[in-house]
Chains A and B, each alone.
Chain A
Amino acid sequence: MSKNIKLISIVLFALFSFFILLKGLDKSNTYSPSIDKSKIDFNFKSKYLFSEKEVFLNELLKNEGMTLINIWASWCLPCKDEHAYLLKLKSLNNLNIIGINYKDNEKNAKKFLSELGNPYTNIITDPNGINSIELGAFGVPETYLIENKSKLIIKKFIGPIDDKSFTQLTKIIQ
Protein backbone atom coordinates (compact mmCIF):
# COMPACT_ATOMS: atom_id res chain seq x y z
CA MET A 1 0.00 0.00 0.00
CA SER A 2 2.68 2.47 1.04
CA LYS A 3 4.71 1.44 -2.03
CA ASN A 4 1.76 2.40 -4.21
CA ILE A 5 1.52 5.77 -2.55
CA LYS A 6 5.21 6.36 -3.10
CA LEU A 7 4.94 5.42 -6.77
CA ILE A 8 1.89 7.60 -7.30
CA SER A 9 3.51 10.56 -5.59
CA ILE A 10 6.66 10.19 -7.68
CA VAL A 11 4.60 10.03 -10.88
CA LEU A 12 2.55 13.04 -9.79
CA PHE A 13 5.69 14.99 -8.97
CA ALA A 14 7.21 14.13 -12.35
CA LEU A 15 4.03 15.22 -14.12
CA PHE A 16 3.93 18.42 -12.09
CA SER A 17 7.54 19.28 -13.03
CA PHE A 18 6.87 18.36 -16.65
CA PHE A 19 3.94 20.76 -16.94
CA ILE A 20 5.79 23.57 -15.23
CA LEU A 21 8.67 23.20 -17.67
CA LEU A 22 6.26 22.94 -20.60
CA LYS A 23 4.57 26.15 -19.52
CA GLY A 24 7.96 27.79 -19.19
CA LEU A 25 8.77 26.89 -22.79
CA ASP A 26 5.60 28.57 -24.01
CA LYS A 27 6.39 31.84 -22.35
CA SER A 28 7.95 34.56 -24.46
CA ASN A 29 11.60 35.07 -23.69
CA THR A 30 11.84 38.81 -24.12
CA TYR A 31 10.98 40.46 -20.90
CA SER A 32 9.68 43.99 -20.69
CA PRO A 33 8.64 45.87 -17.57
CA SER A 34 4.96 46.64 -17.07
CA ILE A 35 3.93 49.75 -18.93
CA ASP A 36 2.31 51.58 -16.00
CA LYS A 37 5.63 51.82 -14.19
CA SER A 38 7.38 53.33 -17.17
CA LYS A 39 7.73 56.89 -16.09
CA ILE A 40 11.01 57.84 -17.65
CA ASP A 41 13.33 60.63 -16.78
CA PHE A 42 13.97 62.34 -20.11
CA ASN A 43 16.44 64.64 -18.51
CA PHE A 44 19.58 63.53 -20.26
CA LYS A 45 21.80 65.41 -22.62
CA SER A 46 22.68 64.29 -26.10
CA LYS A 47 24.27 65.66 -29.25
CA TYR A 48 22.19 66.46 -32.33
CA LEU A 49 22.92 64.44 -35.43
CA PHE A 50 24.75 66.52 -38.08
CA SER A 51 25.57 69.26 -35.59
CA GLU A 52 27.80 69.75 -32.60
CA LYS A 53 25.05 71.27 -30.46
CA GLU A 54 23.77 69.40 -27.42
CA VAL A 55 20.24 69.25 -26.11
CA PHE A 56 18.24 67.71 -23.27
CA LEU A 57 15.68 65.23 -24.56
CA ASN A 58 12.86 66.78 -22.52
CA GLU A 59 13.39 70.09 -24.33
CA LEU A 60 12.36 68.33 -27.53
CA LEU A 61 9.06 67.11 -26.09
CA LYS A 62 6.25 69.59 -26.59
CA ASN A 63 3.83 70.55 -23.84
CA GLU A 64 0.76 69.00 -25.36
CA GLY A 65 -0.15 66.10 -27.56
CA MET A 66 2.10 63.14 -28.09
CA THR A 67 5.62 62.43 -29.16
CA LEU A 68 7.00 59.37 -30.86
CA ILE A 69 10.54 58.42 -30.00
CA ASN A 70 12.15 56.01 -32.45
CA ILE A 71 15.53 54.36 -31.94
CA TRP A 72 17.14 53.57 -35.30
CA ALA A 73 20.44 52.98 -37.07
CA SER A 74 21.49 52.85 -40.71
CA TRP A 75 23.03 49.41 -40.22
CA CYS A 76 19.80 47.97 -38.87
CA LEU A 77 17.77 46.19 -41.56
CA PRO A 78 14.41 46.09 -39.75
CA CYS A 79 14.73 49.88 -39.40
CA LYS A 80 14.50 50.13 -43.20
CA ASP A 81 11.26 48.14 -43.14
CA GLU A 82 9.63 50.34 -40.55
CA HIS A 83 10.80 53.61 -42.11
CA ALA A 84 7.83 53.81 -44.50
CA TYR A 85 5.46 53.60 -41.53
CA LEU A 86 7.23 56.46 -39.79
CA LEU A 87 6.93 58.60 -42.93
CA LYS A 88 3.23 57.77 -43.12
CA LEU A 89 2.73 58.67 -39.45
CA LYS A 90 4.47 61.97 -40.05
CA SER A 91 2.28 62.92 -43.00
CA LEU A 92 -0.93 61.63 -41.42
CA ASN A 93 -0.79 63.35 -38.10
CA ASN A 94 2.03 65.85 -38.30
CA LEU A 95 3.38 64.02 -35.28
CA ASN A 96 6.44 65.10 -33.35
CA ILE A 97 8.86 62.25 -34.09
CA ILE A 98 12.23 62.23 -32.37
CA GLY A 99 14.86 59.90 -33.73
CA ILE A 100 17.65 58.46 -31.64
CA ASN A 101 20.51 57.41 -33.90
CA TYR A 102 21.93 54.32 -32.20
CA LYS A 103 25.65 53.43 -32.48
CA ASP A 104 25.89 54.78 -36.01
CA ASN A 105 28.17 57.01 -38.00
CA GLU A 106 27.00 60.31 -39.46
CA LYS A 107 27.86 59.55 -43.06
CA ASN A 108 25.81 56.36 -43.17
CA ALA A 109 22.96 57.99 -41.28
CA LYS A 110 22.87 60.84 -43.79
CA LYS A 111 22.83 58.39 -46.69
CA PHE A 112 20.04 56.37 -45.05
CA LEU A 113 17.87 59.47 -44.62
CA SER A 114 18.51 60.89 -48.09
CA GLU A 115 17.59 57.55 -49.65
CA LEU A 116 14.50 56.79 -47.61
CA GLY A 117 13.29 60.21 -46.45
CA ASN A 118 13.38 61.92 -43.10
CA PRO A 119 10.34 61.54 -40.85
CA TYR A 120 12.05 63.00 -37.80
CA THR A 121 11.44 66.44 -36.34
CA ASN A 122 14.71 66.16 -34.45
CA ILE A 123 17.42 63.54 -34.34
CA ILE A 124 19.81 63.06 -31.45
CA THR A 125 22.71 60.65 -31.32
CA ASP A 126 23.50 57.76 -29.04
CA PRO A 127 27.08 56.77 -29.93
CA ASN A 128 27.55 54.22 -27.16
CA GLY A 129 24.00 53.15 -26.42
CA ILE A 130 23.72 54.79 -23.02
CA ASN A 131 20.80 57.07 -23.85
CA SER A 132 18.74 54.15 -25.03
CA ILE A 133 19.30 52.46 -21.70
CA GLU A 134 18.04 55.62 -19.99
CA LEU A 135 14.82 55.00 -21.91
CA GLY A 136 14.77 51.34 -20.94
CA ALA A 137 15.47 50.07 -24.46
CA PHE A 138 16.99 46.75 -25.50
CA GLY A 139 18.33 47.70 -28.93
CA VAL A 140 17.20 48.79 -32.38
CA PRO A 141 14.59 49.36 -33.58
CA GLU A 142 12.39 50.40 -30.73
CA THR A 143 9.56 52.91 -30.61
CA TYR A 144 7.88 54.74 -27.75
CA LEU A 145 4.71 56.76 -27.79
CA ILE A 146 4.83 59.38 -25.09
CA GLU A 147 2.16 61.64 -23.72
CA ASN A 148 3.90 64.99 -23.47
CA LYS A 149 2.02 66.38 -20.50
CA SER A 150 2.46 63.47 -18.11
CA LYS A 151 5.78 62.32 -19.61
CA LEU A 152 4.48 58.77 -19.54
CA ILE A 153 5.13 56.04 -22.05
CA ILE A 154 1.72 55.08 -23.39
CA LYS A 155 2.86 52.45 -25.82
CA LYS A 156 6.11 50.68 -26.46
CA PHE A 157 7.08 48.63 -29.51
CA ILE A 158 10.14 46.42 -29.29
CA GLY A 159 11.20 45.61 -32.83
CA PRO A 160 10.05 47.19 -36.10
CA ILE A 161 6.65 48.81 -36.60
CA ASP A 162 4.40 46.65 -38.77
CA ASP A 163 0.84 46.89 -40.08
CA LYS A 164 -0.63 45.88 -36.75
CA SER A 165 1.34 48.30 -34.62
CA PHE A 166 0.81 51.05 -37.21
CA THR A 167 -2.98 50.80 -36.94
CA GLN A 168 -2.66 50.69 -33.16
CA LEU A 169 -0.57 53.83 -33.22
CA THR A 170 -2.86 55.79 -35.55
CA LYS A 171 -5.85 54.84 -33.42
CA ILE A 172 -4.25 56.12 -30.24
CA ILE A 173 -2.96 59.31 -31.84
CA GLN A 174 -6.30 60.18 -33.42
Chain B
Amino acid sequence: MNKMKILLKLIIIFLLFQNFSSAETSQKVDKISKNLRCLICQGQSVYDSQSDFALSMKILIQNKIDEGKNDEQIYDFLKNKYGEWIVYDPEINKNTFLLWVLPLILFVFGGILIFRKVSIK
Protein backbone atom coordinates (compact mmCIF):
# COMPACT_ATOMS: atom_id res chain seq x y z
CA MET B 1 0.00 0.00 0.00
CA ASN B 2 2.77 2.36 0.94
CA LYS B 3 4.58 1.57 -2.23
CA MET B 4 1.49 2.37 -4.23
CA LYS B 5 1.26 5.75 -2.55
CA ILE B 6 4.84 6.58 -3.38
CA LEU B 7 4.34 5.50 -6.95
CA LEU B 8 1.23 7.64 -7.23
CA LYS B 9 3.05 10.65 -5.84
CA LEU B 10 5.89 10.10 -8.27
CA ILE B 11 3.48 9.94 -11.19
CA ILE B 12 1.76 13.15 -10.07
CA ILE B 13 5.08 14.95 -9.70
CA PHE B 14 6.17 13.69 -13.11
CA LEU B 15 2.97 14.89 -14.77
CA LEU B 16 3.15 18.26 -13.07
CA PHE B 17 6.73 18.71 -14.10
CA GLN B 18 6.00 17.76 -17.68
CA ASN B 19 3.12 20.20 -17.86
CA PHE B 20 5.30 22.87 -16.41
CA SER B 21 8.16 22.34 -18.83
CA SER B 22 5.87 22.34 -21.89
CA ALA B 23 4.28 25.57 -20.67
CA GLU B 24 7.75 27.01 -20.39
CA THR B 25 8.70 26.16 -23.99
CA SER B 26 5.42 27.51 -25.34
CA GLN B 27 6.09 30.73 -23.45
CA LYS B 28 9.48 30.83 -25.10
CA VAL B 29 7.91 30.27 -28.51
CA ASP B 30 5.52 33.16 -27.82
CA LYS B 31 8.36 35.42 -26.79
CA ILE B 32 10.43 34.69 -29.88
CA SER B 33 7.51 34.83 -32.31
CA LYS B 34 6.49 38.24 -30.96
CA ASN B 35 9.87 39.54 -32.10
CA LEU B 36 9.48 38.16 -35.63
CA ARG B 37 7.77 39.92 -38.47
CA CYS B 38 5.28 37.82 -40.42
CA LEU B 39 6.71 38.44 -43.88
CA ILE B 40 3.56 37.73 -45.87
CA CYS B 41 1.08 39.60 -43.69
CA GLN B 42 1.03 43.35 -43.33
CA GLY B 43 1.88 44.76 -39.93
CA GLN B 44 1.56 41.54 -37.95
CA SER B 45 4.06 39.57 -35.97
CA VAL B 46 4.42 35.82 -36.37
CA TYR B 47 2.80 35.52 -32.95
CA ASP B 48 -0.33 37.42 -34.02
CA SER B 49 -0.76 35.82 -37.42
CA GLN B 50 -2.67 32.67 -38.29
CA SER B 51 -1.28 32.44 -41.83
CA ASP B 52 0.30 29.20 -43.05
CA PHE B 53 3.70 30.83 -42.95
CA ALA B 54 3.34 31.96 -39.34
CA LEU B 55 1.94 28.63 -38.16
CA SER B 56 4.88 26.76 -39.68
CA MET B 57 7.25 29.27 -38.20
CA LYS B 58 5.89 28.61 -34.71
CA ILE B 59 6.34 24.85 -35.15
CA LEU B 60 9.87 25.43 -36.37
CA ILE B 61 10.71 27.61 -33.36
CA GLN B 62 9.29 24.94 -31.07
CA ASN B 63 11.48 22.31 -32.74
CA LYS B 64 14.58 24.46 -32.48
CA ILE B 65 13.94 24.99 -28.77
CA ASP B 66 13.50 21.24 -28.31
CA GLU B 67 16.83 20.76 -30.09
CA GLY B 68 18.35 22.96 -27.40
CA LYS B 69 18.97 26.09 -29.48
CA ASN B 70 18.93 29.39 -27.60
CA ASP B 71 17.07 32.55 -28.66
CA GLU B 72 20.08 34.10 -30.33
CA GLN B 73 20.74 31.01 -32.44
CA ILE B 74 17.12 30.89 -33.59
CA TYR B 75 17.13 34.57 -34.59
CA ASP B 76 20.41 34.07 -36.44
CA PHE B 77 19.05 31.02 -38.24
CA LEU B 78 16.01 32.95 -39.45
CA LYS B 79 17.99 36.08 -40.32
CA ASN B 80 20.22 33.90 -42.46
CA LYS B 81 17.19 32.59 -44.38
CA TYR B 82 15.00 35.67 -44.57
CA GLY B 83 17.34 38.57 -43.98
CA GLU B 84 17.52 41.25 -41.32
CA TRP B 85 13.93 42.31 -42.04
CA ILE B 86 12.38 39.38 -40.22
CA VAL B 87 13.34 40.62 -36.76
CA TYR B 88 11.68 43.68 -35.27
CA ASP B 89 14.95 44.79 -33.77
CA PRO B 90 17.06 46.24 -36.58
CA GLU B 91 20.85 46.16 -36.29
CA ILE B 92 22.86 49.34 -36.72
CA ASN B 93 24.26 49.45 -40.24
CA LYS B 94 24.49 51.79 -43.20
CA ASN B 95 20.77 51.54 -43.97
CA THR B 96 19.44 51.80 -40.43
CA PHE B 97 21.93 54.39 -39.21
CA LEU B 98 19.47 57.28 -39.50
CA LEU B 99 16.79 55.29 -37.71
CA TRP B 100 18.99 54.88 -34.68
CA VAL B 101 20.67 58.27 -34.69
CA LEU B 102 17.74 60.56 -35.55
CA PRO B 103 16.00 60.30 -32.15
CA LEU B 104 19.30 61.09 -30.46
CA ILE B 105 19.82 64.15 -32.66
CA LEU B 106 16.25 65.31 -32.00
CA PHE B 107 16.74 64.78 -28.29
CA VAL B 108 19.91 66.84 -28.21
CA PHE B 109 18.34 69.51 -30.43
CA GLY B 110 15.30 69.74 -28.15
CA GLY B 111 17.53 69.92 -25.13
CA ILE B 112 19.42 72.84 -26.64
CA LEU B 113 16.14 74.62 -27.44
CA ILE B 114 14.86 74.21 -23.89
CA PHE B 115 18.19 75.23 -22.42
CA ARG B 116 18.27 78.40 -24.51
CA LYS B 117 14.68 79.34 -23.63
CA VAL B 118 15.32 78.83 -19.94
CA SER B 119 18.59 80.74 -19.94
CA ILE B 120 17.03 83.67 -21.86
CA LYS B 121 14.33 83.97 -19.21
Contact = CB atoms under 8 A, between A and B. Distances in A.
Interface of A: 29-34, 37, 40, 103, 128-130, 132-136, 138-139
Q: Which bucket holds chain B's interface residue count?
A: 10 to 19
A139 B85 contact: no
Contacts of A135: 81
Contact of B83 (A33, A128, A132, A134): A33
Given A128-B59, A139-B52, A133 B81 contact: yes
Interface in B72-97: 80-83, 85
Contacts of A34: 83
Interface in B47-85: 52-53, 55-57, 59-60, 63, 80-83, 85
Contacts of B57: 133
Contacts of B119: none
Contacts of B39: 30-31, 138
A156 B40 CA distance: 16
Shortest Cβ-Cβ A-B pairs, 5 listed: A129-B56, A33-B83, A136-B81, A31-B85, A130-B60
Given A31-B83, A134-B81, A139 B53 contact: yes
A138 B56 contact: no
A129 B55 contact: yes
A103 B52 contact: yes
A71 to B, nearest CB: 11
A132 B82 contact: no
B2 interface: no
Nearest to B79: A33
A166 to B, nearest CB: 24
